[in-house]
A and B are shown apart, each in its own frame.
Chain A
Amino acid sequence: MQRQSRKKMREMGQGYFFMSPSLLVLALFIIGPILYVVFLSFHKVQLLGNGSLEFVGLDNFSRLADDSRAQIALWNTIKYVAIVVPAQTFLALVLAATLNAGLKGQQFFRIVYFLPTLTSSAVLTLIFMWMYNKNGLINSMLEGIGLQGYNFLGDPDIALNAIMIMNIWSTAPFFMVIYLAALQDIPESVYEAAEIDGANWFQKFWKITVPQLRPVTSFVAIMGLIGTFQLFDQSYIFSAGSGGPDNSTLTVVLLIYQYAFKTLGTMGYAAALAFILALVILIATLLQRKFSKEESLY
């Protein structure tokens, strides 16, 4: 008995020993920073120069209540998530369904549609900024058909929408590929049975394809939620880091960046904001899971 347990202990030790390199890396680069952020969020921190660390309890969190820029950032982010996630999910589904219908040259179109996802978002943003330019492609086209152009980059009412359009366009294809893979799994026999019962293409799509894809949709929605809540690079490049015009492209992550690196001595507040954002994402994901009931299908 004694021998048995010693052997077990030794095997366990061996196991952890073999895992130690990756455990160390995880602790150093993931778990450590997470704990450090929680620690920082309860302090007023000045890292530069002489440095100072002062415990302030929940001050950083209560400060959020009367920081109107933080509220604007949160509102912008929520607006962005609420529009982009459904739109890109729906677009991905439609794209996948059409590319799975057996059209001529669908391989070619699959590749073409997937291209935006392969491009780095910084490059895409720069390209779009050229197209959105007052003398750029989109405005010239609008003027060509007799419409008045927009100041996409400088008008606070439009700037965030411009980023939304760009992001929907560039991330939908990624989810399209996931849908395409899932579509292969739907048995042909189900469609055949529906055809015999006299269902038209829309009924087949709505009553078979969509429900069969539900687990995948749930995955796509959650990934989309997490990704869109963390919007940073596009709005950063769009506004050169300021979140302007008139705070219209200010997102939570951009605000965290500003408090952490631009203004001195607000690292603690930035950490608190980051912590709250993580909570918001967690809650949104849990809600999404609860409502989609992904296990119910099987």
Chain B
Amino acid sequence: MMNKKWFAGLGISAMLLGSALTGCSSDNGGSEPKDGEKVEVTLAGWGGNPTEEKLLKETLADFEQKHPNIDVKLEVITEQYMDVIKTRLIGGEGPDVFYLDAFEAPGLIKTGAVEPLDEYVTKDFDVDDFEKPLLDAFKEDGKTYGFPKDYSTLALFYNKKMLSDAGVEVPKTWEEFTAASKKLTKGKVAGFGAAPELARVYWMAESKGGKVVTDDKASFASKEVEAGLQPLLDMHNVDKSAVEPKEVGASWGGEMFGQQKAAMVIEGNWAIPYLKDTFPDVEYGTAELPTVDGKNSTMAYDVAYVMNAASEKKKASWELLSYLTGKEGMKTWTSKGYALPARQSVAEELGFDKDELRAPLVAGASYATVWQKGPNMPIIVNNFNNQFMSAFLGKRPLGEALKDAEKQANKEIE
């Protein structure tokens, strides 16, 4: 009698346990697959607009056709890309190949989660073809950890109609720019739609000889950086000719520009397809950023494909990575001009330097600063942005805000 009860109890508990644990089975038992075997490689990236996604799928389809033994599984991470990637890498469930922004690269490379690619590179791959600054962003101690897929620089977007109505020429220098912005400010329209964050004002911050980062530490609380940034604050607080997106109920510069709440914005390549899709009626042009003291400057935002160091299909992953960043793959991917090709040969072939809207963006590549300054950048940026915003809104003097932000950032870095 007693035995029977025991048995029943055991049976029920085992069943419950079994059902509770079924979700936990592991599937990463395999090792490097042999040649000729079918392999599935996962590729993760952030989502773009529908056309961009179609282009990527097209590129991947070409690849699968040429490599019948490799299947590519595309995973799109739409929100908080880096948080998701980091967490998945920690959990051992990271994708084999993924996008990595140059800005996040040094930090991630330092942890050893990214595979160095030098030993895979063959002569056909032609490394020298990449724009050097873009490639250097993914180098650490002489090793290359990623190959750039594309990039974008910043350019001045201006509303043609508003400029001609106000009788303003496209500004070439900072002085012309502030004057134009003042003239263009009328009623609900601001002359300049600013983006008060470090990624966008970095070129201004260093325009007077200051350094934002020195030896991986924040060093922006200097007279020179302050002098570089103050003109932007004056546009907002003194001239009242600049606004930030939230002040006019927009979420970013492109939207503000499309809704014609700002006559000029400084944005990148990404704004061109957005404006075409969302605000096709806005007539606009692009120009190189206004020069400060006669010097050209702009930012370059650089994204690469990198390989997961813990991947079990490194050979197949390299096949994919080298195709996507190779001449053929990059040509398909950048053919519509949604992103600028990181290879010189592809850029020449596609001729974006002759495209009316994209020429200023391409021209910027030669003097651009790549948006990446060492492994501590995320901390520095977060602190800078927080304090700079209140200075931009005129809540506190710039020098004081920068000093506080620098102190806090360096404390967090230690």
Q: A48-B111, A156-B389 are in contact. Are A134 and B249 (CB under 8 A)?
A: yes
> Is the contact region of chain B dominated by helix, strand, or loop, or is it mixed?
helix
Evaluate contact between A241 and B80: CB separation under 8 angstroms. Answer: yes
Evaluate contact between B393 and A245: CB separation under 8 angstroms. Answer: yes
Interface of chain A residues 124 through 165 with chain B (CB within 8 A): 133-136, 151, 153-157
Contacts of A156 in B (CB 8 A): 389-390, 393, 395
Evaluate contact between A21 and B90: CB separation under 8 angstroms. Answer: no
Contacts of A154 in B (CB 8 A): 244, 246-247, 389, 393
Contacts of B9 in A (CB 8 A): 14, 17-18
Distance between A287 CB and nearest chain B CB, rounded to angstroms = 31
Tell me the complex Cα distance, A50–B390, Å. 39
Q: Closest chain B residue to A247 by CB distance? A: B386
Interface assignment of A27: CB less than 8 Å from any CB of chain B: no
Evaluate contact between A68 and B112: CB separation under 8 angstroms. Answer: no
Contacts of B113 in A (CB 8 A): 48-49
Interface assignment of B385: CB less than 8 Å from any CB of chain A: yes
Distance between B197 CB and nearest chain A CB, rounded to angstroms = 10
Interface assignment of A243: CB less than 8 Å from any CB of chain B: yes
* Range for the number of chain A residues in contact with chain B: 35 or more
Q: Closest chain A residue to B12 by CB distance? A: A18
Contacts of A244 in B (CB 8 A): 385-386, 389
Distance between B280 CB and nearest chain A CB, rounded to angstroms = 22
Q: Closest chain A residue to B389 by CB distance? A: A245
Segment from A86-94, A171-179, A260-268 that makes contact with B: A260-268
Between B6, B82, B90, B387, the greatest number of chain A beta carbons within 10 A of the residue's beta carbon is seen for B90
Interface assignment of B350: CB less than 8 Å from any CB of chain A: no
* Range for the number of chain B residues in contact with chain A: 35 or more
Could you say which of B13, B111, B246, B411 contacts A17, with CB atoms under 8 Å apart? B13
Could you say which of A17, A25, A67, A155 contacts B393, with CB atoms under 8 Å apart? A155
Interface assignment of B248: CB less than 8 Å from any CB of chain A: yes
Interface assignment of A207: CB less than 8 Å from any CB of chain B: no
Tell me the complex Cα distance, A134–B248, Å. 6
Interface assignment of A230: CB less than 8 Å from any CB of chain B: no
Interface assignment of B165: CB less than 8 Å from any CB of chain A: no
Q: Closest chain B residue to A246 by CB distance? A: B390
Interface string of B395-412 (1 = CB under 8 A from A): 100000000100110011
Interface string of A235-278 (1 = CB under 8 A from B): 00000011111110000000000100111110000000000000
Contacts of A153 in B (CB 8 A): 246
Tell me the complex Cα distance, A194–B6, Å. 63
Evaluate contact between A24 and B390: CB separation under 8 angstroms. Answer: no
Q: Closest chain A residue to B375 by CB distance? A: A264
Evaluate contact between B89 and A67: CB separation under 8 angstroms. Answer: no
Q: A49-B309, A156-B389 are in contact. Are A263 and B378 (CB under 8 A)?
A: yes
Tell me the complex Cα distance, A121–B375, Å. 35
Contacts of A136 in B (CB 8 A): 249
Could you say which of A66, A247, A262 contacts B378, with CB atoms under 8 Å apart? A262
16 contacts between A and B (CB under 8 A): A14-B6, A20-B17, A48-B112, A48-B113, A49-B89, A50-B111, A135-B249, A136-B249, A154-B246, A157-B395, A244-B385, A261-B86, A262-B82, A264-B86, A264-B108, A264-B110
Which of B's residues lie within 8 Å of A, judged by CB? 6, 9-10, 13, 16-17, 20, 80, 82-83, 86-87, 89-90, 107-108, 110-114, 244, 246-249, 309, 375, 378-379, 382-383, 385-387, 389-390, 393, 395, 404, 407-408, 411-412
Q: Please provide the 5 A-B residue pairs with the shortest distance between their CB atoms, ordered closest to farther.
A: A49-B111, A154-B246, A49-B112, A49-B113, A134-B249
